[in-house]
Chains A and B, each alone.
Chain A
Amino acid sequence: MNALVVENISKTYDDFQAVKSVSFELQEGKLFGLLGPNGAGKTTTMRMIMNIIVPDSGNIYLFGEKFNELHKNQVGYLPEERGLYPKMKLMDHLQFLGEMKGMSPKDAKTIGLRWMDRFGMLDRAKRKVSELSKGLQQKIQFISTIMHEPKLIIMDEPFSGLDPVNAKFLKDILLELKASGTTIILSTHLMDQAEKLCDEICLISNGQIVLQGDIKKVKKDHSLNNVIVEYSGNGDFIKSLPMVKTSDDYGNYIDVQLHDDRSPGELFKELASADLDVRRFEATEASLNQIFIDIVEKK
């Protein structure tokens, strides 16, 4: 079942078109990455999904129903610009945000405290928000996004500003939630993070989708069919092999691009039969980072 269907949504501010007819579908239990350079329209798209901004045109369906206010309780949203009431105590604040998601005051309190315990900040429950470091405030915001057990979680740049330890902690919890069937959308410009985490990606540039789909397929589609070989001996023959399209030879290191219909395995056989001491053979996949830069720069 589709957790979310976004159908041709557009948004124009005065004379600036922030989002142009964006569509995508998201299966339940998947982790979806919304990628794109700064100002591409990621945040506007997310705000439209949350009905914080109403699209000029297009429709959004959540679990088969047209999105309405009642759905907000089933979604957890972590905006990029995060904020808390500085004068409130952490415990009270979590309780308030939980109640705003339709939890009973009692549930909001116990579950909030349980999460604070898990995040190792139970001893600070009665401290005021303003007494906390930015990183700890982010943890509170993260708890408030997930404490009401939403079926869909939307996070705008969740890793920004987190130290490596906490970034790993956040990643582990996200994967745990995904394993329990929660659908997750996150926007990021950290490509290696997206590459490791996401099942599907959607790349937005200038308000339009320029690339989308299953991450493995995207990477395969954009694979450059490159192979790196490190060797000793006479390797001059490599560049003249018929399967080689282009090459870059350094004497004992060669970067080869094969023709699209040939595979690295064929080159491996060729090398094995030759009188060559191969120390390293690596079929390189294009990184998401590379794809991202290529596509965005091409535009």
Chain B
Amino acid sequence: MNKILTIIKREFMTKFFTKGFLIGTLLSPFIMLGLIFFPALLGDIDQERTNHFHFVDQSGTLASQMNTLFNDTLSDGSPEFQLTEISPATFASDRQRLETALEEDAMDAILVIPENVLSNGKIDFLATSVGGLSVLGKMEGRFQEAINKIRLQDAGLDPDNVEKLTANVDINTLKVGGGEQSEDAFDQQMIMAVVFLFFLYMSSILYGNSVMRGVLEEKTSRIIEVLLSSSNSFQLMMGKIFGVGSLGLAQYLVWMVVGGLGFFIAGSTAPSLLNNISVEPIVFLYFILFYMIGFFQYSSLYAAAGAMSNTQEDAQGLSTPVTFLIIIPFLLSLTLGMQNPDGTISTILSILPFFAPMVMFVRMALVDPPMIEIVLSLVVNVAAIIFFIWLCAKIYRVGVLMYGKRPTVPEMIKWLRYR
């Protein structure tokens, strides 16, 4: 036991106090935030401009309404849409000239409302680029509304009455848990689940690879035999796994402290910033629990892959299947797990080893799975951890002293039978 602790201490001290790790740990929260907010910021900047549109109304139904339909203003008070009408009579002869002007950026787009717009509901949007989705979406909605009104009137119905009768029904998502109801928090919970899931995924790959590289380094630098003369291969492997795993936990601890400080400062200076953020503290506990379950499963396989390799290339090849065991559950959690956390497949996946850490985490963060499933999942996965560590320790023990060619599968099966 003392030897495992000595190994953990070495792993931790030599890796934690390196410039790369410290800088990476301190910078990554900011990079994360940047990745989330930067695209949104860019999108906002892009939208803040007036759209110069020319339009021709060959149906004669919408021209009079156009300015009221598109009377939005930008945040500085200037109009979002500047519309110029083209007479339908001259459009055909002017079209060439207008399109040239469009190409020379004299305007942003030409809208052609055809004669039969009421029956086939199609409007042409001529532009040199397809344009921002939000603008197109807005226009589609407005035209839809206006044309529907005209269609209703033509059918002899009162549009206002129809609107009342077909008023939207909204589903207000409320999550009930622990006696209190959190309104409007469901969306945020989805986002937080994705963020945490992403961290689970990243750290499983990152730290799993770190275990593999560590094992390979000990093998290629030939220190392994010195270590084996003081301890046994099981202690070495466990020390490596726990050492690197504790490094991950330390990193999370730093992030939680930094994040907590951030919340504290934001809370005391600008409380409104925090209105949109709510994380139940229990999610952190789930996160740590599933990080550890996943880490033990993946890293024991990575350790075995490292022990079987002689070069970085060997290790890359051998670790690819292990990496897939992380990527596939991650993608399934993002899709199936998020969309249907209580479905049969999600339920089964949340019990299976390698899938459980991410799928069960998502389920626990989004819905409250029955206690029996949680207990079953924990039992199955702890048993899986014991089994994989036993298996990988056997491979590790023989592998670390084998130099030369990469072993074949039958050879590895033989290794399991070595005394």
Contact = CB atoms under 8 A, between A and B. Distances in A.
Interface of A: 14, 47, 50-56, 69, 72-73, 75, 77, 79, 81-88, 92, 96-97, 99-102, 141, 144
Contacts of B225: 47, 52, 77, 79, 81, 83
Contacts of B217: 85
11 contacts: A47-B225, A52-B401, A53-B401, A69-B231, A72-B229, A72-B230, A72-B231, A81-B225, A83-B224, A87-B14, A100-B6
Nearest to A13: B418
Contacts of A73: 230
B14 A52 contact: no
Sorting the interface of chain B by its residue count into under 10, 10 to 19, 20 to 34 or 35 or more gives 20 to 34
Given A14-B414, A83-B221, A52 B229 contact: yes
B223 A83 contact: yes
A100 B14 contact: no
B2 interface: yes
Given A54-B418, A96-B10, A100-B227, 4 more contacts: A72-B229, A81-B222, A81-B225, A92-B14
A77 B414 CA distance: 28
Interface string B226-256: 1111111000000000000000000000000
Contact of B223 (A50, A55, A84, A92): A84
Given A77-B226, A141-B226, A96 B6 contact: yes
Nearest to B7: A100
B142 interface: no
Interface string B382-396: 000000000000000
B419 A54 contact: yes
B14 A85 contact: yes
B356 to A, nearest CB: 34
Contacts of B6: 96, 99-100
A97 B226 contact: yes
A48 B363 CA distance: 50
B229 A50 contact: yes
Contacts of A79: 222, 225-226, 229
B49 interface: no
B122 interface: no
A56 B418 CA distance: 9
A38 B414 CA distance: 26
